[in-house]
């Protein structure tokens, strides 16, 4: 009985030792923001349809797990490209990309873990050269910059179509031109801005002149209506009413009867 216990103890110790040695080969942990794809050399090879989700997994020691970061990643590329007029422009371009988490198996089978250097970066550089070649350098400083970025994004996406990679955005961070050309572009943009400001002032002045003209025409029309309505009989009536009110006043006054215009009396105060 003691012999049997010793054998079991030794077997347990050996088993524990083997487990410790093989632990890293039979277990894997998929971290947050990752997906895994498993390769089974003795049972079908790469499992392209199913991915290992986040968490702890037990695997056979002869199988291999490849982990992919499926979070959005940022990269920057600095390159020299030719513009429409043949000038060399130095660009710094940032872009955001990620692996399609539902196609990790296909991505690994067709491209591999280095998909950024093999697919994303070349596609972005090619799109940048093609699109920038359609524009003049000064257009990179204008409102067309966003249009250029969108064209670069769409062109790179077409290149990467079917590669199981997502390209989220492209941004031109910096544009470097020869100093003389940069000064000329800035001068031209300032002149355009001054011209727009001058046109705005002229437009405002024309609107103000129109407003004053309409106001004057309105006043003239009102005065014309009032003038036509003030007949001689109405003026006499208003004069009589004013005389009555003055006569009823408690202030001392002198009344000269029949001395006013049209026979109306003159009422003079003490002063």
| 207, part of any domain | no
Global pTM exceeds 0.95:
no
Torsion 255-259-262-266 (CA) sign: negative
Neighbours of 119 (CB within 10 A): 22
Per residue in 174-190, pLDDT (tens digit) is: 888 766 666 666 676 66
Q: Check whether residue 127 and residue 170 sit in a common domain.
A: yes
How much of the chain exceeds pLDDT 90, in percent?
33
Least confident of 3-12, 89-98, 153-162: 3-12
Q: Collapsing DSSP states into helix, strand and coil, what is residue 253?
A: strand
Structure tokens at 86: 């043949």
pLDDT exceeds cutoff 80 at 36: yes
Residue 101 lies in a domain: yes
Instruction: Decide if pLDDT at 7 tops 80.
Output: no
Range of the domain at 82: 73-182
Same domain membership, residue 85 and residue 156: yes
- Is the same domain home to 21 and 52? yes
137 within domain boundaries: yes
The residues, ordered by sequence, that sit 6+ positions from 57 with a Cβ below 8 Å of its Cβ are 27, 28, 29, 30, 36, 65
Mean pLDDT, to the nearest integer, of 155-163?
A: 95
- Within this chain, do residues 176 and 247 fall inside the same structural domain, yes or no? no
Q: Are residues 56 and 102 in the same domain?
A: no
Q: Is the pLDDT of residue 230 over 80?
A: no
Question: In terms of domains, do 171 and 157 share one?
Answer: yes
Average pLDDT over residues 87-114: 93
Nearest to 140 by CA among 169, 175, 184: 175
Q: Residue 29: inside a domain, yes or no?
A: yes
């Amino acid at each position: 009985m003691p012999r049997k216990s010793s054998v079991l103890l030794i077997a347990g110790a050996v088993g524990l030792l083997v487990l410790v040695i093989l632990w890293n080969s039979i277990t894997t942990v998929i971290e947050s923001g990752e997906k895994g794809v498993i390769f089974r050399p003795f049972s079908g090879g790469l499992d392209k349809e199913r991915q290992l989700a986040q968490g702890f997994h037990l695997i056979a020691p002869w199988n291999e797990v490849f982990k992919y970061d499926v979070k959005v990643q940022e990269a920057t590329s600095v390159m020299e490209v030719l513009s429409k007029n043949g000038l060399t422009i130095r660009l710094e371009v940032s872009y955001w990309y990620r692996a399609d988490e539902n196609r990790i198996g296909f991505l690994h089978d067709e491209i591999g873990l280095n998909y950024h250097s093999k697919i994303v970066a070349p596609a972005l550089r090619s799109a940048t050269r093609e699109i920038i070649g359609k524009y003049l350098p000064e257009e990179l400083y204008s409102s067309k910059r966003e249009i250029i970025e969108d064209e670069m994004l769409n062109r790179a996406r077409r290149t990467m179509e079917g590669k199981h990679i997502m390209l989220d955005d492209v941004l031109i961070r910096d544009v470097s031109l020869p100093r003389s050309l940069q000064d000329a572009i800035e001068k031209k943009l300032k002149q355009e801005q001054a011209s727009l400001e001058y046109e705005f002032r002229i437009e405002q002045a024309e609107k103000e002149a129109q407003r004053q003209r309409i106001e004057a025409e309105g006043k003239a029309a009102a005065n014309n209506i009032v003038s036509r309505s003030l007949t001689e009989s109405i003026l006499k009536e208003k004069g009589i009413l004013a005389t009555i009110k003055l006569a009823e006043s408690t202030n001392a006054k002198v009344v000269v009867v029949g001395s006013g215009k049209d026979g109306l009396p003159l009422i003079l105060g003490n002063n």
